Structure 1
Amino acid sequence: MPQRTSLADADCSIAQALDVVGDWWTLLIVRDTARGVHRFDALQQELGVSRKVLTERLRLLVDAGVLAREPYQDRPVRYEYRLTPRGRALLPVLIALQDWGDAWVLG
């Protein structure tokens, strides 16, 4: 993963929000978990992302409180990822981004 420049100290809420979700894989993970894709293998298959990148982004989203990691199997222990209230609060942002893309990118 390329070196990230942290914007956490910036005196701007947009910059601080982008420090959490400013990567396109991150927003696509949030999108897919909102659509009901909760398990690592299913997310990887849906997105076509490498295991390494997916692991890093999931860890970032869990650490930021956007996703919760919940066990669904004991042996071996396996986890699924669910949106938290903080994560669900991002859904209007994704809808606005989709509307903008429909109007200005897809035409």
Structure 2
Amino acid sequence: MNIFDILGPVMIGPSSSHTAGAARIGRLAGIVLGEPPVKADFYLHGSFAETYLGHGTDRALVGGLLGFDTADERIRQSLELAEEAKIKLAFHKTDLGMCTPIPSRW
């Protein structure tokens, strides 16, 4: 075990799940898109919907979409950078319903 196993991910933001996780989700979406985005609608469920502004989830999602890593300082300015790039952003609170876990075969 080393110090990084104890401290967790190197990241920008107050929450590994709401910022580092969101940045990774946004980055994956950008990779799947395969080209610079012109518009992004984010549908936020559960705790993302309730705390996205205070935890920086919005900035992290956009930063990831712009290709920033979880430790990239530009995440803090990602909304402004997206606006400068003329990317239209929208955040929607939604309820995706109950997710039924896949039964374990173990």
For the criterion TM > 0.5, the same-fold answer is no
TM-score, normalization: structure 1? 0.33
Higher helix share goes to which structure? 1
TM-score, normalization: structure 2? 0.33
